[in-house]
Structure 1
């Protein structure tokens, strides 16, 4: 007598959930400025200092300065 495995099919229904207003995801854009050579050097020094002193925040600040995303020059003073 051969052994037959019982097979069964399951039907699943998926529903899409609407999130927020119109359900559209907003892409966040961070204001970027042109990082000068001085910014890159001081950022690298800040990164190194953060690595040596084991301060991740300072290391991250150095990276932001190097990439021009630290927010410097984004606020106008009249």
Structure 2
């Protein structure tokens, strides 16, 4: 039996409760992929920011610096 990364039914219920719209069959997969892309870009931008600031690695401060800008890119 294949193990899923997240509970599909739970994600669909939460999204449906917040959107009050009909959802397509694989909307949870699209949401998960969008989340994965967001996290990847957030970490990439934070790595660039921390390198420019002369830090050794990615810190919470470097993530906070780029989070607002990255969130704006993904706002639908």
TM-score, L = length of structure 2: 0.28
Question: Is the radius of gyration larger for structure 1 or structure 2?
Answer: 1
Higher relative contact order (CA 8 A, sep 6+): 1
State the TM-score, normalized to the length of structure 1.
0.28
